[in-house]
Amino acid sequence: MPGTSEQIARLREEGLAALAAACTESELLAAKGRFFGKKGAVSEILKGIASLPAEERKAVGAEANRVRAELEAVFDSRLAGIREGERLAREGRDRLDVTLPGRALPPGHRHPISRTMSDIIAVFRRLGFSVQGGPDVEKDYYNFEALNFPPEHPARDMQDTFYVESRDGDLVLRTHTSPIQIRTMEKTRPPVRIIAPGAVYRSDSDITHSPMFHQVEGLAVDRDITFADLKGLLTEFCRMTFGPGKPLRFRPSYFPFTEPSAEVDIRCVICGGSGCRVCKDTGWLEILGAGMVDPAVFGFVGYDPEEYTGFAFGMGVERIAMLRHGISDIRLFFENDIRFLSQF
């Protein structure tokens, strides 16, 4: 047998190296089995002791036991080290610090069109008007016919109508909120004082037109309602919406359901009337269409035109929001770009 004490010294070196190289608990256990477990190399040496000359036995036995004890001590401390490392890794993964403040969700806010609509509604409610609604998919009868557009009237083309396929071919996406005038008068008797806000649809798209936009309709019917009442109401509406000192201008116009009809301009809110890009150097901005209810419309709802008169108006909500906020492209409202929307 080659020098047993050299063998033990080599086992010690190899055992220490194997323990140092082990990275996991099972690698560590494998090293233990190989070198100093019950059937490990050190045990084999101890078993062979009997065949050694008597004077060597004691020294070899003591040396083998000392090496086994040393390897066991190293094993224990490596095992503790590996377990600690695994614990730390696990904690890093599952770390939960209950003292951290919560992450606040940034609060959203209403869309500028929805806000402008609410503001317009609030002004008219204060002036004694109640709110009515109607369907977005509307009958041709309400959108056109009862509003005194005859079937082949060219104004139907002017409206850039979206027609909806249906059995009777009589459905459209409403092109304005005026059908709510008819729906309201069909179910109530005068006096009528209503506004009707809602989405409307026209096949039209550029920097000042969007295929879907919003209007607020107004209708007042009673005995002795005159054009002066319309002017007074709209003047007050503009004062409450745009502030004092903004004169209005009524320009003659045409709608089949009002007579006389007018388009109403407000003094340019950007330049104050001196002329700018927004008002195209006219000093005025168009904000709505209006007029006295045409007696023919009363005929469709069974109101006596000898007894009652009324006025109606319809304003574009996007238009008013653009003027209030100095926005030059209507499409910004519908692109959902947070950088735009968060400014309001």
Binding to ligand PHE (CB under 6 A) within 313-342 occurs at: 313-314
Say how far residue 253 (Cα) sits from the centre of its chain: 40
Backbone angles phi, psi at 275, to 5 degrees: 105, 130
> Of 138, 199, 134, nearest to 164 (Cα)?
138
Q: Where are the beta strands (DSSP E) in the chain?
A: 130-131, 137-139, 163-164, 171-173, 192-201, 212-222, 248-255, 258-267, 284-293, 309-316
Per CB under 6 A, the segment of 63-71, 107-115, 272-280, 310-318 that binds ligand PHE is 310-318
Q: Confirm or reject binding of residue 143 to ligand PHE (CB under 6 A).
A: no
Among 289, 294, 310, 332, binds ligand PHE (CB under 6 A): 289
Site for ligand PHE in 174-213 (CB under 6 A): 176, 178
- Measured from the CB atom, the residue of 60 and 172 that comes closer to ligand PHE is 172
Region from 22-30, 84-92, 96-104, 309-317 binding ligand PHE, contact rule CB under 6 A: 309-317
Residue nearest to ligand PHE (CB): 314
Q: How far is the CB of 177 from ligand PHE (least distance, A)?
A: 7
Cα-Cα-Cα-Cα torsion 45, 48, 49, 53, nearest 10 degrees, comes to: -130
Residue 124: partners with Cβ closer than 8 Å, 6 or more residues away? 195, 216, 218, 237
Of 184-192, 228-236, 267-275, 289-297, which part binds ligand PHE (CB under 6 A)? Answer: 289-297
The residue among 230 and 269 lying less far from ligand PHE, judged by its C-beta, is: 230
Stretch touching ligand PHE by CB under 6 A, among 95-103, 130-138, 227-235, 283-291? 283-291
Interface residue with ligand PHE, options 290, 292, 317, 321 (CB under 6 A): 290
Among candidate residues 166, 293, 168, the one with its CA nearest the CA of residue 225: 293
Q: Among residue numbers 220 through 279, which ones bind ligand PHE (CB under 6 A)?
A: 255, 258
Task: Provide the angle, in degrees to the nearest 10, between the axes of the packed helices 54-93 and 25-35.
Answer: 180
DSSP 209: B
The residue from 268, 312, 317, 323 that contacts ligand PHE (CB under 6 A) is 312
Q: Measuring CA to CA, which residue among 248, 256, 246 is closest to residue 149?
A: 256
Residues forming the site for ligand PHE (CB under 6 A): 176, 178, 217, 255, 258, 289-291, 312-314
